[in-house]
């Protein structure tokens, strides 16, 4: 083989990888920030990156693909790069993550062609299991987990009520099947293991697909069993079981147990394939296959779009990073009637306040109703108003993220959920909570204001960020109102207060975040 051709086969893919890293560097930084959070869903990211790199190098060394120019793949490659550009300019991480692996494979297929790229699809493609776009699957998995556990609890003659993702035991307490109980982390790890085992030990795609289906089923079953055991133990021990508060380790033990039958089944498929698949190294045939086009145009075609679109990204992206403050600012407005409510120097209500990570702007104020001070010095009605805003969404600073919670499970137990209609087709969420160490209760009203629209759930708030490409705004806020009162109908009071406060919060946020737009009236003929 010509030494120049051999050098091109080695050097040109490395040039593309360098351009790819430069082009996607902001995305890589965001992924790294998620992967180092070891107690979250995507903490396996660096391990998966290492395995992907190792398998890719091993496959390249075995096949030695030759570089050419397969121009037909230029259109999907540029389309993926433009999707990444849209995500960068509009601050929509989902677009960047969706384009991440297609850009990587697209640049390689431009140089190697379809036949040579096929063996690299799994080694490179497993990176998708470390991308946070999978968080959109958490809510459906939560709902499925609730339904399965409802079926499992029904034959036990236990008195319980299911509302949304809450399972209530009258007189005992309630469980919330939260994001961490969706089973998403077990599903991702299970699928990753199935793809890796199939790549290393199985030859037939039919066997790989069958292993994946069984792996998905066992991963989901592991989470269903885990949640059922926790709920049942909480009911039997009146919420005193250690599993109720700390069940992460228990979940991984259950998942590990389901890996035993999975690998037995994988070995069965492997033995079944022996003798059915012809032995031989396809790498030799691949390396000798005639290459289309010259190597240099293939390398230029894979790098030039990244350079051009990367330059457009730096030029067109909003200058938000330059103006992003490292500290948290305060919202400067009053959401309640000062004639009726007296502010106190506290930022919590009976030890409770929402747990929010690194918002850009915060309002946390506690009030007592004027004239409601009891003889013992305590207030009959106490109100907490919280407003947490993110100027734009980026890694570690999102209104919906793993560590953002309305309440701490260690302090409070949910008792019931309800909806609050504040008018204008706007519905907020309501939640009744009881303290673990006492009979004191508080009620919450909450809503997400994302890019000018109100949403009542985390999933709706997450999905509401997607239309940002057609929206001039990229902000997201959480409004939380808490009420503690004696001798009052707490749900009625919180509903009234939520309606009043929401009408104050919306115009304030609109004036804060709305961009200047041309007046439509001035355009009328």
pLDDT at 79: 94
What are the b/e assignments for 85-124, b being 16+ CB within 10 Å? bbbbbbbbbbbbbbbbbbbbbbbbbbbbbeebbebbebbb
pLDDT at 522: 34
Beta bridge partners of 414: 433
pLDDT in tens, 40-58: 788 899 999 999 999 999 9
> How far, in whole angstroms, is CA 266 from its chain's centroid?
30
Query: Phi and psi dihedrals of 478, rounded to 5?
Result: -120, 125
pLDDT at 481: 94
Give the Cα separation of 83 and 248 in Å (integer).
Answer: 36
pLDDT at 388: 95
- Determine which helix (DSSP H) or strand (DSSP E) holds 216, and give its type and residue range: helix 205-236
In sequence order, the 6+-apart residues with CB closer than 8 A to the CB of 28 are 21
DSSP string, 55-81: HHHHHHHHH-PPP---GGGHHHHHHHH
pLDDT at 506: 93
pTM equals 0.73
pLDDT in tens, 317-368: 554 444 445 678 889 888 888 888 888 888 888 889 999 988 999 999 999 8
Give the Cα separation of 122 and 51 in Å (integer).
Answer: 11
pLDDT at 326: 60
pLDDT at 282: 41
pLDDT at 499: 92
pLDDT at 320: 46
One digit per residue, the tens of pLDDT, for the chain of length 525 reads 556 566 778 888 999 999 999 888 888 988 998 898 877 788 899 999 999 999 999 999 999 999 889 999 999 999 999 998 888 776 677 888 999 999 999 999 999 999 999 999 999 999 999 998 898 888 889 889 999 999 999 888 888 888 777 788 877 777 878 777 889 999 999 999 999 999 999 988 899 999 999 999 999 999 999 999 998 888 888 777 777 777 778 889 999 999 999 999 999 999 988 766 544 444 434 444 566 667 788 788 888 888 888 787 776 555 444 444 567 888 988 888 888 888 888 888 888 999 998 899 999 999 988 876 655 555 678 899 999 999 887 766 888 887 788 988 778 888 888 899 988 889 999 998 888 777 788 999 999 999 888 998 887 887 777 665 566 678 899 999 999 987 788 899 999 999 999 999 999 999 988 753 333 333 332
**Quick check: 477 and 507 in contact, CB under 8 A?**
no
Which tokens belong to 317? 């992206």
In sequence order, the 6+-apart residues with CB closer than 8 A to the CB of 56 are 120, 123, 124
pLDDT at 196: 93
Which tokens belong to 28? 């890589």
Give the Cα separation of 23 and 103 in Å (integer).
Answer: 10
Sign for the CA dihedral angle at 161, 142, 434, 342 comes to: negative
pLDDT at 517: 39
pLDDT at 226: 93
Q: How far is CA 267 from CA 186, 198, 201, 258, 287, in A?
A: 21, 11, 9, 15, 31
**Quick check: 441 and 416 in contact, CB under 8 A?**
no
């Amino acid at each position: 083989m010509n030494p120049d051709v051999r050098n091109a086969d080695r050097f040109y893919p490395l040039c593309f990888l360098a351009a790819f890293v430069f082009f996607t560097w902001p995305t890589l930084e965001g992924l790294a920030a998620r992967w180092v959070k070891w107690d979250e869903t995507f903490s396996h990211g660096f391990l998966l990156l290492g395995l992907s790199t190792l398998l890719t190098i091993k496959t390249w060394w075995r096949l030695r693909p030759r570089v050419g120019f397969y121009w037909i793949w230029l259109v999907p490659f540029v389309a993926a790069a433009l999707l990444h550009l849209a995500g960068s300019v509009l601050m929509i991480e989902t677009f960047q993550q969706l384009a991440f692996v297609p850009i990587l494979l697209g640049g390689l297929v431009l140089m190697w062609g379809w036949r040579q790229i096929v063996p690299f699809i799994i080694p490179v493609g497993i990176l998708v299991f470390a991308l946070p776009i999978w968080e959109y699957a958490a809510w459906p998995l939560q709902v499925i987990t609730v339904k399965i556990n409802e079926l499992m609890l029904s034959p036990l003659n236990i008195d319980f009520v299911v509302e949304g993702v809450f399972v209530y035991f009258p007189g005992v307490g309630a469980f919330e099947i939260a994001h961490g109980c969706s089973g998403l982390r077990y599903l991702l790890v299970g699928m990753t293991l199935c793809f890796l085992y199939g790549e290393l030990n199985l030859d037939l795609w039919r066997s790989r697909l069958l292993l994946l289906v069984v792996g998905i089923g066992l991963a989901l079953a592991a989470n269903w069993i885990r949640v059922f055991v926790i709920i049942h133990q909480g009911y039997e021990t009146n919420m005193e079981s250690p599993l109720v508060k700390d069940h992460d380790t228990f979940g991984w033990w259950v998942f590990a147990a389901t890996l035993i039958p999975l690998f037995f089944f994988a070995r069965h498929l492997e033995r079944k394939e022996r003798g059915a698949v012809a032995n031989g190294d396809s790498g030799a045939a691949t390396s000798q296959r005639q290459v289309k086009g010259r190597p240099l145009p293939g390398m230029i075609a894979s790098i030039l779009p990244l350079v051009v679109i990367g330059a457009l990204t730096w030029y067109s992206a909003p200058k938000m990073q330059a103006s992003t403050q490292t500290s948290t600012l305060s919202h400067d407005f009053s959401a309640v009637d000062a004639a009726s409510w007296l502010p106190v120097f506290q930022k919590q209500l009976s030890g409770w306040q929402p747990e929010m990570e690194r918002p850009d702007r915060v309002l946390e104020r506690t009030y007592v109703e004027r004239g409601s001070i009891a003889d013992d010095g305590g207030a009959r009605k106490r109100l907490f108003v919280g407003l947490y805003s993110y100027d734009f969404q980026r890694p570690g600073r999102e209104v919906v993220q793993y560590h953002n919670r309305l309440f701490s499970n260690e302090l409070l137990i949910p008792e019931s959920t309800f909806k609050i209609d504040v008018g204008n087709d706007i519905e907020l969420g309501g939640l009744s909570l009881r303290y673990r160490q006492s009979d004191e209760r508080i009620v919450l009203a909450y809503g997400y204001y994302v890019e000018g629209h109100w949403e009542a759930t985390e999933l709706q708030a997450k999905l509401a960020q997607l239309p940002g490409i057609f929206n001039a705004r990229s902000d997201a806020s959480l409004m939380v109102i808490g009420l503690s009162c004696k001798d009052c109908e707490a749900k009625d009071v919180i509903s009234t207060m939520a309606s009043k406060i929401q009408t104050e919060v919306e115009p304030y946020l609109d004036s804060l975040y709305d961009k200047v737009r041309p007046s439509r009236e001035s355009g009328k003929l």
